[in-house]
Structure 1
Amino acid sequence: MSLSKRLLSFFLALSLLLTLVGSTLVYPAVADAASNVSMSLTSSNTLFVNETNALTVSVKANSPLQDALIDFELYNSSNQRVMQKVFEHQSFVVNGQRLYSISWKPTQTGTYTLRIGIFTSNWSSLIQWENSVATFSVQPRPVAAPSVNILASAVEVWWPAQNATVSGVQPFKGILSGTSLSNYQMYWQVDGGQLNLMNNSSVDSPHKESLVNVSGWNWRGSGPYTLNFVAKNLSGQTIAQKQVAIYIGASSQTAPVTPVAPATNTTQTQTTQTTTPPPTQISAPAQTTASPALASVSGLYVNPNSPALSQAQQWLTSRPADAALMKKIGDQPSARWFGNWNNNIYTDVKNYVDAAASANATPVLIAYNIPQRDCGGYSAGGSNDPQVYRQWIADMARGIGNRSAMVVLEPDSVALNDCLSSTDKQTRFGLLSYAVDTFKANPNARVYIDAGHSSWVGAQDMANRLTQAGIARADGFALNVSNFYPTQDNVNYGTQISQFLGGKHFVVDTSRNGRGSNGQWCNPSDRALGEKPTLNTGNALVDGFLWLKTPGESDGTCNGGPSAGQWWSDYALGLAQRAAW
C-alpha cells in the first residue's frame, strides 16, 4: 500500500474513532494545588426519572475571573454525555460565590456524574476541569399513599358565610373536616384567580386563616364574588374544595369569634384554648390610627415609632420627597431585634408585643444574644454564660406570654460556627434547642431557626445542623437574614433543605434583596428594597417573605457605615430610591 493510501486510512480511522467517542471526551483536570475555583452540589443527589429535576451547584472563585465560560456536563455510567449547559460571560470577584441552577429531565434510571469545566471566553483555553463534582442516582419516584382520605373529607368555611356582606379587612377561615392541620394546606381564591395560601391558627379551634382586605374588590360592583376554598394534600393534590358567594358593602356582620360546628360534624371535637388570649391577627381586625393599613392586611405589626417613620417626620417640611421615600420603608412591617443591649428583656418584649396586640397585628421578633455571637465579627457579643442565656430566653418568652408572635432565633448561629470548638458547637445546638422548646410552650408562637442563605452552607449539611438545633420541634427555619441574595435563590435552597427535614417550612428575608447580591454582605452599594412583607407567598413551603433586617440599619463599620444596628438614613434612602415598587 502506498504512503498516501496509508495516511488516508489512518485519518479515516481517526475520524471514525473521534465520532464514536466524541461524546465521552474528558478534559484533563488541573492540579489541585492550582485550582482557582471550588464547586459543590447544594441540591439533592437523588433525582427522579421522567421528571424535570433542579440541580443547584455552588461555584466559588478563590481568585478573580473575568468573562469566563462555565460548562456543566452530565455523564451516564457508560461515560456518555447526556446533558450540557453552558453559562457565558461569568465574572467573579475574589471569594465571590454564585449558585447555578440547571434543569434536567432524565429518561433512564441509573448513576450519573456531573463534570464542570471553566474556560476563557470563546473556549480559547481551559482554566479548570473537574471530572467528578457530584454523582447522582436517578430513580422512579415512590408512589405515596394520599395523606388524607378524600372521600371522608370536606371543606368547611367558617367565614365568610354564604351571601355575607363584608367590607374592609376580613379573616377568611376554614378547615378540612376530621383532618389535622399539619396534614393539608388550604388556599382561597376569588372568581377563579390566584390561589392564596392560608395559615394555621389554634385560636378558639384549630383552623386555617388569612386576613384579606376586600376594600379594592370592585370589578363586580357589590357582587356577588365567588370565593373558592381549596384543600390540598402535602403532595399538592387537590382533595376538596368549597365555594361561597359574598357581597361587598357596609354591613354590621362580623366574623364569629368562635365558629359553630356544622350539625353534620357532631362526632368531631376540638380543644378550645380557654386560658390563652387569642392572637390578635386572627380576631376581626379593628381599624386604628396607631397602625398603618398594611399591618392589618398582612397581619404583621408595623412599628409606628420605627427609625424610618421618625426620619420621615423630621424631613417632612425640609425634604418632602425624601420623607415620602422614608415612609415607603416605615409603612412596611419589619422585625424587632432583641439582644444584650436590652436592660430588661422581659419588659422590653412585653411592651412591644402589647403595642402589636393593640394594633391587631402579629409582631416579628429576633432573638440575638447567643454566646460567642458572630464569631468576633462586627456584631460580636451576646451572653457570656449558657445559663444566663437560658434565663434570658425564658424572660423573652415570658414577655410574649401566650400572645401571637413570630420568633426568629439567632441569625448566623448555625451557619457561622466554625470559630467554635466541637464542645462549644454542641453547647450552642443545645441552647438553640432550649430556645425552641421555651418559645413553643406558647401555642401561638411560630419559631424559625436561622439557617444562613443560599450561597453559604450546603443544603444537606445545613439540614444536619438544624436537626441538632431542634428543628423538629420548631415551625421551620429562616433564610437570607440581613443578606441580599435573590428571593428565588433562597426559595430553591430552602426547598432543598426542607426535603431533608420532612417538609419543614421556612421564611425568607426580602428586606434588601431587590437587586440581589454583589458578593458583599456589609453595607454593599447600589442595593434596593426587596418584595413587600407578606404571609401569602403562593408557595406551600414558604410561610412568609419578611423584612427581618430593618432597611437602613447598618451592617457594621464598613463601606462608610456606622456601628452594626445603628440607623443610617443615607443608606436607607438609597434602598428606597432603587426599589422596583
Structure 2
Amino acid sequence: MQPRAQSIPAVLQTSVSVAMCLVASSWLGCGAPGGSGAPRDEPETSRAALTEWVVNGTFSTGVTAPWWSGANTQSLVEGGRLRVNVAGGTVNRWDALVGQSAIPLVGGRPYTLAFTASASANVPMRATVQLEPSPYTATLDQAVTLDGTARRFTFSFTSSLDTALGQVTFQFGGSGAFTLYLDDISLTSETGSGPVSMTSGFYVDPNSNPAVWARNNSGDSRAARIQSNIASKPGARWFGNWSGDITAAVSGFVNAADAVDKLPVLVAYNIPGRDCGSHSSGGAGSPEAYRAWISSFVTGLGSKPAIVILEPDAVAQLDCLPNDTERQTRLGLLRYATEQLRDRAPNTWAYLDGGNATWIAADTLAQRLESGGVRNIRGFALNVSNYIPTAQSNTYGAAVSAALNTRYGYTRPWVVDTSRNGNGSNGEWCNPAGRKLGATSQVGGGADLLLWLKVPGDSDGPCGIAPTVPAGTFSPDIAVRLIDGT
C-alpha cells in the first residue's frame, strides 16, 4: 500500500499556480465548466429524501408568519417575496435582522441553506443557521453582498449543533437605510439518505498496516500501544496499481464494512504520473487504463455506503506536468472519475483532493476543482498526508468554498485529514520529527468530516526520521513517535 507525498515547495507552487492562471492556461478552465454534457449544479447523492425545515419560504400565502422581524426592520409581503425596510442608524449586522425560529438541528447531519436576495443599495448581509438562545452559536455563518440584481445563494454545511432551538437569520445592520428583498428561502437536510446516516460509525480496517504489524509482533513491547492508539481507530484504505483486481478489492472492503454496519473510507490513488515521479510515483499507464481502472473501482462500490477521497495531489500537482495538453488530460480524467461516482455510486460521498492550506491560493484551487469536476460530487479534501492544523485547514476550506460560490454559484463542503496533525506542522512534509496523532475520525469538527486518511506509521518515503523506510511501508518507530509526539 502506497501513500502520497508532496514534492514541490508550497511557496513555489502557489506562485506558479497563480501566474499560470493569469496567463489564461486553458487547463484551469477559468470559469468554463468541464466534463461531458451540461454540468449539474448538485450531485445526485444530495437530492434524494430531502426534508424542508423552513416554513413559508416562498411567501405564496401573502403573510410573513412565522418569519419575525427584529429591531430596526419592518417586513411585508410584496409581489410574492418578502420586502424588508431597513432603518438607518445601526452599527452591527445583528442590529437589523429577520429570521425564523424553532427549527430542529441534528448534529452531524448535512444541510443546505438556499435563498434569493437583492437590495436597493450595494450592501453586505450575513446569513446564519444558529442557536436561538444565547450564546447564539452559529453552525453556518456566511457573508454575501447584495445589489439590485436578484441572485440565488446556496450553502451546504454539516450541523455542529444538536438542538430543537435552531433558527435561520438574515442580518443586515450597519449599512444605513435601504430596502431588502428575500424569496425562495429553503433549509433542507438529507434525512434518511447519505452514507453517514446509513451506518453506525466509521469502519476500523482489521487489515491495516498497523493492525497487521501488531498481530504479527505481539511480543514486541510497542505492539499493544500501536494496537490501542492506532490500529483500533477508524482509518482509510488506499487503493492503487498494487491492489490487483480493483473491483474485487473495493467490493471486498466495502462489503466487510457493510456487514458490521460501519462506513468505510477509501482513497483512490492511481492517476497517471502520480506524485510527479517522487516517492509515491506510479499510477495507471495511460489515460485509457485509468478510465478502465476508476470505472472498475466504482463498480466495486455499488450501492454500499462509502466515503471516497479521489486522487491525492492530482489537482495540486498540475504544475509539475510539462504542458497544457497533459494538464487538460489529467483534469479530463478527474472529471470522468467524478461523473462515474456521481452516476454509479448513489450512496458514496466523494471528495476531490485539493492539497493543503499552504500550497495554492484559494481562488486558484477553486478554479482547478471546478475544472476537475468537484461540482459532480460531495466536496473536496484537504491536508491528506500532511500536518497542517485542523483550524487552519478549515479556514482555507471556507475560503475555497466561498471562491467556488463567487465564481460558479455553488459551494462545497470539505474533509480534513487529521491523522498526524496533533502537533501541527513544522514546515516539513516527509516524516518530520515531533508530529503527533490528531483527532480521530468524526462527523463535523468544522468540516464535513475529520478523517484519518494517511495511515499513521506508514512512511512518507526514505526521508526525515525514517531515511531507509520506503513510501507506504509501516514503521513501528514512526508510529510510536506519533503516539508520543516526539
For normalisation by structure 1, the TM-score amounts to: 0.53
- Can you list the C-alpha shifts for 1:527-563, whole angstroms capped at 9, x where unaligned? 11112221131x3xx1011111000111112232422
d(CA) in 1 for partners of 2:167, 2:258: 32
**Pairwise mapping of residues 267-306 of structure 1 onto structure 2 (< 5 A)?**
281-283=196-198, 296=200, 299-306=201-208
Residue 228 (structure 1) aligns with: 163
- 1:391-402 aligned within 5 A: 391-402=292-303
2:232 maps to 1:331: yes
AA paired with 1:495?
A: A
Contact residue 371 and residue 382 of structure 1 kept, 8 A: yes
2:365 paired with 1:489: no
| Aligned twin of 1:512 | 420
Instruction: Give me the whole-angstrom Cα distance separating, in 1, the residues matched to 2:247 and 2:280.
Output: 22
Shift of the 141–379 alpha-carbon distance from structure 1 to 2, 3 Å rule, reads farther
Structure showing greater Rg: 1
Cα 1:456–1:234 change in 2 (3 A) is farther
1:40 is displaced (CA, Å) by 8.3
Against the structure 1 CA distance between its residues 154 and 454, is the aligned structure 2 distance closer, same or farther, given a 3 Å change threshold? same
CA RMSD of aligned residues (A): 4.3
Once the two structures are TM-superposed, the CA of residue 150 in structure 1 deviates from its matched residue by 5.7
Residues 328, 370 of structure 1: alpha-carbon distance in 2 compared, 3 angstrom cutoff: same
Select which of 433, 436, 439 maps to 2:338: 436
Q: How does 1:353-364 map to 2 (within 5 A)?
A: 353-364=254-265
Asked whether 1:460 is paired with 2:363, we answer yes
Q: 1:280 to 1:472 in 2, by over 3 A?
A: closer
1:570 aligns with 2:473: no
5+ residue gaps, structure 2:
1-10, 16-90, 116-126, 141-156, 173-188, 406-410
Q: Take 1:545 and 1:232, find their aligned partners in 2: how far apart are those partners?
A: 25
Indicate conservation of the 8 Å contact 2:236/2:265, yes or no: yes
Contact kept, 8 Å, 1:155 with 1:175, in 2: the verdict is: no
Which one-letter code corresponds to 2:213 in the other structure? Q
The 3-state SS of whatever aligns with 2:318 is coil
Alignment CA distance shift 1:235-1:356 (3 Å): farther
Q: How does 1:86-165 map to 2 (within 5 A)?
A: 155=103
Task: Give the aligned partner of residue 546 of structure 1.
Answer: 451
Q: Is the 8 A contact 1:477 1:505 kept in 2?
A: yes
| Equivalent in the alignment of 1:105 | none
One-letter code aligned to 1:510: T
Describe the SS at the equivalent of 1:390: helix
Q: Would you say 1:309 and 2:224 are equivalent positions? A: no
Partner letter of residue 492 of structure 1?
T
4+ residue stretches of structure 1 with deviation over 6 A? 37-41, 140-143, 171-176, 180-189, 192-197, 208-212, 234-237, 270-273
RCO higher in structure (CA 8 A, sep ≥6): 2
* TM superposition shift of 1:186: 7.6
AA at the equivalent of 1:551 = P
> Is contact 1:326–1:572 with CA below 8 Å preserved after alignment?
no
Q: Letter of the 1:364 partner, please give it.
A: V
| Aligned 8 A contact 2:362 2:399 in 1 | yes
- Alignment partner of 1:480 out of 380, 383, 396: 383
Residues 515 and 186 of structure 1, relative CA distance in 2, 3 Å threshold: same
Scaled by the length of structure 2, the TM-score of the pair is: 0.62
The alpha carbon displacement at 1:141 in A equals: 12
Deviations, residues 274-330 of structure 1 (Å, cap 9, x unaligned): xxxx767535x6xxxxxxxxxx4xx211112222233333454442x6513432111
Contact 2:195/2:349, CA 8 A, preserved across alignment: no
Shift of 1:368: 0.5
SS of structure 2 residue aligned to 1:553: coil
In the alignment, structure 1 residue 499 sits paired with structure 2 residue 402: yes
User: C-alpha displacement at 1:499, in angstroms?
Assistant: 1.2
Deviations 1:393-421 (A, max 9, x none): 11111111112111111111111122211
Contact 1:476–1:504 (Cα < 8 Å) also in 2: yes
Question: In structure 2, how many angstroms separate the alpha carbons of the residues matched to 1:535 and 1:272?
Answer: 15
The residue that corresponds to 1:556 in the other structure is 461
Residue 352 of structure 1: SS of its match in structure 2? helix
Query: Aligned-pair distance for 1:38?
Result: 8.8
User: Mapping of 1:413-428 within 5 angstroms?
Assistant: 413-420=314-321, 421-428=323-330
- What displacement does 1:515 show? 1.5
Instruction: Report the Cα offset of residue 380 of structure 1.
Output: 0.8
- Distance, in Å, in 1 between the alignment partners of 2:477 and 2:378 is 36
Q: CA deviation at 1:271?
A: 12
Post-superposition CA distance 1:203-230 (Å, at most 9, x none): xxxxx99999xxxxxxxxxxxxxx7235
> Does the Cα contact within 8 Å between 1:375 and 1:419 map onto a contact in 2?
yes
Please tell me the residue identity of whatever aligns with 2:353: D
Give the letter for the 1:545 counterpart.
L
Residue identity (%): 38
> Alpha-carbon deviation of 1:195?
8.2
Q: Given the superposition, is the C-alpha separation of residues 374 and 530 from structure 1 closer, same or farther in structure 2, using an over 3 Å criterion?
A: same
Unaligned runs of 5+ in 1: 1-36, 42-139, 158-170, 198-207, 213-226, 238-269, 286-295
1:383 positional shift: 0.8
2:197 aligns to what SS in structure 1? Answer: coil
Paired AA for residue 424 in structure 1:
E
Tell me the amino acid that sits aligned with residue 402 of structure 1: S
Residue-pair matches, total: 352
CA contact (8 A) 2:255 2:304 kept: no
Paired amino acid for 1:496: A
Cα distance in 2 between the residues matched to 1:332 and 1:303: 8
- 1:469 correspondence with 2:372: yes
Kindly state the Cα deviation for residue 573 of structure 1 after the two structures are TM-superposed. Answer: 1.4
| SS at structure 2 position matched to 1:310 | helix
Shift in CA distance, 229/314, structure 1 to aligned 2, threshold 3 Å: farther
Please say if residues 158 and 444 of structure 2, whose CA atoms lie closer than 8 Å, have aligned partners that are also in contact. no
